[in-house]
Structure 1
Amino acid sequence: PQQSLLQALSLLRSDDWEVKEKGLASIKHLAGSHSEVLLPRLRDICLAVTSEVTNLWSKVSYMAIVTLGEFFATLKQDMDSEVDEMVRVILRMLRNSPEFVEKAASQTLGIMVENHALARLCCCCSFSLCPSVCSPLARSCHVQVQKCAAELLLSLLEKIGVTELAGTARAGRLAHAAGTLALDRHKDTRHYGQEMVKMLLNHQEGKILLERSVPARDL
C-alpha cells in the first residue's frame, strides 16, 4: 500500500489528464481499503487531491471530488482540519460545471455533513455566504452555489441543533447568514434561510443570536 501511494502521488504530477485520473482513482481505492497509509501524510495528500478539483479536465475534477468524498467517509474526524478549504473549493464547482461534476460535488458535501465537525462546517459555509465578510468571488456566487450552500447550512443546523451551535465561537456568523438568506431574491435559497430563522427563533439562544446579528426590521 505504501508503494502504491507513492506511485499514485507521482501520477498526479503528470501533465496527462488520463494519468492524473488514474492516480486519483488509486488514492481513492487506498482510502477505502488502506486508509491508515494516508494518515502520516494526510495534509500533503489532501492538498494534492484538492488542487485537482478545479482541473479544467472535467473527468479529473470529478475524480478528485469523489476521492475527497471517500476521504470524508472513511477517515472521518481525521479530516476535520481539512474541511474549511475543501468546502469552499467544492462549492465553487457548483457553477459552470458539467452536470456530473455538480452532482458529485453535491454528494461529497452531503458526505461532509454526515461525517464531520458540524460546527466547523457551519462556520465555513456561513463565511462563504455572509456578504459582509466574504471575498469578491463568494459575493458573486452563482445562484446554484448559493442554493446548495444554504441547503447545506440548514442540514447542518438541523443536525447540530441550535443549543450546541450557540456555544461555538462564530455562531453569530451563521445567524447573520441565515437572516441574509431569508431575504434572498431566489425562492429556494430564501426558503432555506427562512427555515433556519424559524429554528433559531424557537430557541432562546438562537433568538439572542439573531437579535445581535440581524437588524430588527429584517426579523
Structure 2
Amino acid sequence: MDTFSSACCYQTQQTEEPWCADQGWYHCLQCTTERKTEGLKLIRALAAHHAEILLPKLHDICLAVIKEVRNLRSVVCRAAMTTLAHLYAHLQKKMDQEVESTARVLLHKAGESHHFIKEDVEVALSMMVHNCSPGRVLRGLLAGGLSHRNAAVKRCTALHLEKLAHLLGASRVLTAKKEFTCRFLTAVSKLALDPAQEVRLHAQNTLRFLGSHEACVKMMDRFVPLRDKTAIKGILSKTR
C-alpha cells in the first residue's frame, strides 16, 4: 500500500448530491475554519467521484485551494495540501496546466519547521510526480524550488527530482527531448553541488542512478556547465 492510500486522512466519501457540492465548496471557503475544511472535503469528493463537474472550473478551484495552503491555520493548510494530493491523484494529467502554480506553493511550505507540514508537502508532491506529465512536473519543481534560498525547499526539490528519475528510468531521462534532458541534468548538477548536505544527498543519488546508463557521460558533457563538469564527473566515477 502506497503513502497516499495508507494515509487515513485522504479517505473521501462519495457525495450523493454532486451539484450541491459543486456550489457548496465555494461558499464554505468564504467562511470559518471549520467550514473551510468542509469545503475542501467537498472538492476532494468531487475529484474522486465527479471529476467532470470540477474540470470546467479547475483553474479557479486550484487558485482557491492554493489560497488555503497559505492559510495560517494549520488545520486548513493541511486540508488544502491533502486536497491538492487528491486533485493530482484523481485528475492526473488534467492537472498539468495547474502543476507549476500548485507545486510552487507546496515547495514553499516545505521550508516551514513543522514536521507534519513537511510530510503533507511530500505526499502531495509525490502524487504530482506519479500522476502528472513529466515535463510539467519538472517545470513545476524547478520553478518552485531550484533557486530558492531555503535549504529545506531545495532538499524537497532534489528529493522529488530523484523520485521522477526513478519513475521514468535512466534511459528515458537521458534520451528524452533535448529541453527536458538539458533542464533535468542542469538542475540536478546544480543541486548536487549545493552547500547544504541534505540537498546534495538526493541530487547526487540521482546522478549515480543516471550514471549506470551508457549515455550518461555523453549527456553530461553536452549539458552540464563547464565550471561544474569536473566535480560532477567525480560523483559519477563513484558509480563505476
Could you state the TM-score of these two structures normalised by the residue count of structure 1? 0.86
Q: 1:154 and 1:100, CA in 2 relative to 1: closer, same or farther beyond 3 A?
A: same
Tell me the residue number matched to 2:176: 167
| Higher mean displacement: 57-66 or 143-152 | 143-152
Tell me the residue number matched to 1:11: 28
- Counting aligned pairs with the same residue, the percent is 30
Tell me the residue number matched to 1:150: 158
Structure 2 residue 213 is matched with structure 1 residue 214: no
- Alpha-carbon shift at residue 167 of structure 1 (Å): 2.3
For 2:144 and 2:218, how far apart are their aligned partners in 1?
Answer: 22
Within 5 Å, give how 1:89-128 maps onto structure 2: 89-128=105-144
- Alpha-carbon shift at residue 183 of structure 1 (Å): 1.7
- Alpha-carbon shift at residue 214 of structure 1 (Å): 2.8
Provide the alpha-carbon RMSD of the alignment. Answer: 2.0
Tell me the residue number matched to 2:194: 184
- Alpha-carbon shift at residue 55 of structure 1 (Å): 0.9
| Higher mean displacement: 183-192 or 99-108 | 183-192
- Residue 161 of structure 1 aligns with an amino acid whose one-letter code is G
- Alpha-carbon shift at residue 38 of structure 1 (Å): 0.9
Is the contact made by 1:28 and 1:67 (CA closer than 8 Å) also made in structure 2?
A: yes
Aligned positions, number: 210
For 2:66 and 2:54, how far apart are their aligned partners in 1?
Answer: 15
Structure 2 residue 34 is matched with structure 1 residue 26: no
For 1:96 and 1:186, how far apart are their aligned partners in 2?
Answer: 17
- Paired residue secondary structure (1:28): helix
Question: 67, 79, 87: which one pairs with 1:63?
Answer: 79
- Alpha-carbon shift at residue 153 of structure 1 (Å): 0.3
For 2:230 and 2:181, how far apart are their aligned partners in 1?
Answer: 21
Q: 1:44 and 1:115, CA in 2 relative to 1: closer, same or farther beyond 3 A?
A: same
Is the contact made by 1:200 and 1:210 (CA closer than 8 Å) also made in structure 2?
A: no
Q: 1:100 and 1:112, CA in 2 relative to 1: closer, same or farther beyond 3 A?
A: same
| Higher mean displacement: 84-93 or 161-170 | 161-170
- Alpha-carbon shift at residue 18 of structure 1 (Å): 2.2
- Residue 55 of structure 1 aligns with an amino acid whose one-letter code is N
- Alpha-carbon shift at residue 147 of structure 1 (Å): 1.6
- Paired residue secondary structure (1:38): helix
Within 5 Å, give how 1:45-60 maps onto structure 2: 45-60=61-76
Is the contact made by 1:119 and 1:160 (CA closer than 8 Å) also made in structure 2?
A: no
- In structure 2, the gaps of 5 or more residues are 1-17, 233-240
- Alpha-carbon shift at residue 204 of structure 1 (Å): 4.9
- In structure 1, the gaps of 5 or more residues are none
Could you state the TM-score of these two structures normalised by the residue count of structure 2? 0.79
Is the contact made by 2:145 and 2:154 (CA closer than 8 Å) also made in structure 1?
A: yes
